[in-house]
Structure 1
Amino acid sequence: MNGKKDKKSISKKKMAIIISLSVLAIIIATVLFGYQYFKSKIYVPPSDTNSISTEENKYKEVEGITNVLLIGSDGRTLDELSRSDSIMIATLDNNNKEVKLTSIQRDTLVDVPEYGEQKINAAFALGGAELLMETISDAFEIKLDKYVIVNFWGFESIIDAIGGIEIDIKDYEIENVNEYIGDSTETKSEPITKPGLQKLNGAQALSYSRIRSVGNGSYERSERQSRVLNEVAENLVKINPLKYPGIADKLSEHVKTNIEPLMALNYGYTIYKFPELKFEQLQIPQVELSSEENGYKDKGWVILIDKEQNAKVLNDFIFENKLPNAEDYDLIARENVFAKYRSDEKRYNSLYGIKPEEYLDTGKKLNDKDIQRTNTVDKAAEAETAKKEEARKIAEAEAARKEEARRAEEAATRKAAEDAAAKKAAEDAATRKAAEDAAAKKAAEEAAKPKPQ
């Protein structure tokens, strides 16, 4: 949304699927197999400890708006703690009758409670869904207490069950997709040999959704994952409903949630009641409010962000139904944030004797590139400030000109009114004088007449 945002109307049936394959599994599994099935296979009761920050009440809540954290895990099982491969916030907005999906880049650098600076996806590996919820809550000032975990390894069997999906493969993606097949999938598969629109099986589709070292890095990777999710949803709409039980059963093996069964059904019913469903997407961080993926301290490849402005974008999108506008961003504030990042990194490297080239071979080059990028932002900000100042002066001059014209017009109007009044007074005086002269003449004539004897 650099304002990246997609908005489209979709059928109720498709929307119930698109919101998340995981939520679909929850709803279908509960309906088809019953409450006890859901509890035994999908539902995870809340832990006794309150993992959400004790300051959670400071985060905004709006009645009618529900947020659910969707976590794509790259662990081979749901119980294996691994880094989250995909992080999204699904927002059910009953006030505006729409569903929103916010993707959070997994390499975003944040403070993880008790662990300090880490990539945001490390929170899931360090403390599971509850620590990830707390981390996101603290970083972006939004309360999260509901989650759904989806194990991506299960997507292979789901995609194979629906007969595969059609994806337009770019020529620069082929090599990377083939490298992932087998290494990060459950099964081996034939490699992709040509670009273009083609049907992918489960292993190929999963590999496609996970590549990240081509194109625009993590940002384009999120777009691939959304494309796969949408294609799966499209195919689920078209298949014979008699296949749903088997698919739901497969999904249930790869889904965990702390959403209570009846609440999951309530969410599904709420979506179903929406008159015309709108599906919106946001990406956090915003491109203009983040750095390129870059080596930082000893953290490896990370995305540095302006937390305050990104938090505002996220909260405005979810709670105020406001779309981001790059023209509203404070580039000077952004530069101050990144100047502090550079200062902190310099001090950190000096204190711990870290040489950038030792934790990232191209670290110095990338740091120089990022500094050059922020210097470009400096110049852009200065140019923007000068442009605004020039516009202000022009506006002031125009306002002064209009005020002068208004006063001249008022003076002319007053002069015309005064002239008209003077003319009328002169005409009235002349009329009175003529009347007086006529009366005097008549009186003289009367006086001159001979008097009767």
Structure 2
Amino acid sequence: MSTVEDERDGVGQLLAPRPAAPAGPRRRRRGGLVLALAAVVVVALAAAAAALWSSVPAVGHLGDPFSSIPAAERPAVATAAGRAQNILLIGSDSRANGDGEDASAAAGAPADQEADWTRGGQRSDVLAVLHLSADGRSAAMVSIPRDSWVPVPGYGTTKVNAAFSYGGAPLAVRTVEQLTGVRIDHVVAIDFSGFARVTDALGGVRICVPQAVSDHLGTVQAGCQVMDGQQALTYVRQRKTLPGGDFDRERRQQNWMRSVIAGATDRDLLGDPVKLTAVVRELASSVRTDDGLGEPQLLSLALAHRDLRAADVTFLQAPLADPATGTEGSQSVVYLDTAAGAQLWQALKDDDVASWVGAHPGAALGDTVR
């Protein structure tokens, strides 16, 4: 069979309904090709692009971030996890510095400048572990606050977002694996500025805001509204006027991701080739993956998670200490609760996030986000 025929067959499998789960009733799911922003929108839509339109540019790569890490330093894979996958998400707003200012504009850089994913190019604004369950029917994204004060191999204790700047994706992987004990299978880097164009390609996303918020970046009105890419960027860049500062900003980022998944699923992108092509084209210019996450692997992940939709993705934050913030020298930092965190990371290792969430019902991202 030719490659084109193989790809068409793969898309046919994506469109075909999955057999019902053996335990318990479950409503029929559609739109699972649009898995989870940050990686699964990345994973699934990139797979669709490879299978349907050879004219769509391929997703760029970061190299092999695992080859330089000594095998003895890497966490073992828990038997209970089976075929579950853990993807490290590294997010950057290439036009904004740590305070949400438009840094590139001030430096004379073009407004649509892509993120610099080379070592030392920048610090990561977003760091999260995306866990894809072994049965393909759920996912969990655990965000690690960018100012978390953690050990970074070779650099002592510093902010977690410095790891990418100091050593690129390999050091980011080593740092997160050492912090969590969770073995990372793949890496996906996301440029949020480019992701705004994905939002536009979708025709906007619906986001509800409980109270109007204004600052130097603009005003986000209260109420449920369909935001375009620029409005969504303002929404996730605000922090100084939010009660929880960076923590609220992080929740807004997760809420945007959730809204993109929901919007793509509701629109049934697989049934709209023109819109799907536009979304994937913008996505391809906004993400980078490790070398091991090529078209065959992307298609395989998309097939395994074709039933997943927004309601199946749980958004969490690494547990915080009390107090959660402080200073180290001249730096404002975030302290993590290592004991509580160990329980959450063990749940990921065991592919049993649902039990942890059940024991911590207030931990997941709620319906209302400031």
TM-score calculated relative to the size of structure 2 = 0.71
CA distance in 2, matches of 1:139, 1:88: 12
Q: Which amino acid aligns with 2:278?
A: G
Q: Deviations over 1:115-150 (max 9, x none)?
A: 111111111122222211110100111111410111
Q: Give the 3-state SS of the residue equivalent to 2:306 in structure 1.
A: helix
Is 2:299 the counterpart of 1:265?
yes
Corresponding residue number in structure 2 for 1:21: 41
Q: Which amino acid aligns with 1:260?
A: G
**What pairs with 1:360-399 in structure 2 (closer than 5 Å)?**
none
Corresponding residue number in structure 1 for 2:106: none
Corresponding residue number in structure 2 for 1:316: 347
Is 2:312 the counterpart of 1:292?
no
Counting aligned pairs with the same residue, the percent is 23
1:91 to 122, 131, 135: 131
| Alpha-carbon contact 1:102-1:281 (below 8 Å) kept | yes
Q: Give the 3-state SS of the residue equivalent to 2:276 in structure 1.
A: helix
Q: Which has the higher helix share?
A: 1
| Alpha-carbon shift at residue 113 of structure 1 (Å) | 1.0
1:116 to 147, 156, 175: 156
**What pairs with 1:224-239 in structure 2 (closer than 5 Å)?**
224-237=252-265, 238=267
1:148 to 152, 172, 188: 188
Corresponding residue number in structure 2 for 1:68: 87
Is 2:73 the counterpart of 1:55?
yes
Corresponding residue number in structure 1 for 2:366: none
Q: Give the 3-state SS of the residue equivalent to 1:17 in structure 2.
A: coil
| Alpha-carbon shift at residue 264 of structure 1 (Å) | 1.4
Corresponding residue number in structure 1 for 2:275: 243
2:336 to 288, 305, 316: 305
The 1:158/1:278 distance shift into structure 2, 3 A limit, reads closer
CA distance in 1, matches of 2:207, 2:312: 24
Is 2:162 the counterpart of 1:128?
no
Deviates more, 1:131-140 or 1:14-23: 14-23
The 1:301/1:15 distance shift into structure 2, 3 A limit, reads farther
| Alpha-carbon contact 1:65-1:319 (below 8 Å) kept | no
**What pairs with 1:177-196 in structure 2 (closer than 5 Å)?**
179-180=216-217, 191-192=218-219, 194-196=221-223
| Alpha-carbon contact 1:43-1:261 (below 8 Å) kept | no
The 1:255/1:211 distance shift into structure 2, 3 A limit, reads same
| Alpha-carbon shift at residue 151 of structure 1 (Å) | 0.6
| Alpha-carbon contact 1:140-1:307 (below 8 Å) kept | no
CA distance in 1, matches of 2:207, 2:161: 27
Q: Which amino acid aligns with 2:43?
A: V
Tell me how large the CA RMSD over aligned residues is: 3.2
Is 2:220 the counterpart of 1:212?
no
The 1:218/1:154 distance shift into structure 2, 3 A limit, reads same
Q: Deviations over 1:39-80 (max 9, x none)?
A: xx4234426942366321456463221111112122342434
Instruction: Choose between structure 1 and 2 for higher RCO, CA contacts under 8 A separated by at least 6 residues.
Output: 2
1:280 to 289, 297, 314: 314
Q: Deviations over 1:203-252 (max 9, x none)?
A: 12112112223122333222211221222233323264421112211110
Aligned residues: 302
| Alpha-carbon shift at residue 85 of structure 1 (Å) | 1.5
Corresponding residue number in structure 2 for 1:161: 201
Q: Which amino acid aligns with 2:195?
A: F
Q: Which has the higher strand share?
A: 2
For the pair shown, which has the larger CA radius of gyration, 1 or 2? 1
Is 2:11 the counterpart of 1:11?
no
| Alpha-carbon contact 2:57-2:284 (below 8 Å) kept | no
Any gaps of 5 or more consecutive residues in structure 2? 1-25, 95-112, 362-370
Q: Which amino acid aligns with 2:346?
A: N
| Alpha-carbon shift at residue 290 of structure 1 (Å) | 4.7
The 1:161/1:326 distance shift into structure 2, 3 A limit, reads closer
Deviates more, 1:165-174 or 1:218-227: 165-174
| Alpha-carbon shift at residue 152 of structure 1 (Å) | 0.8
CA distance in 2, matches of 1:57, 1:115: 20
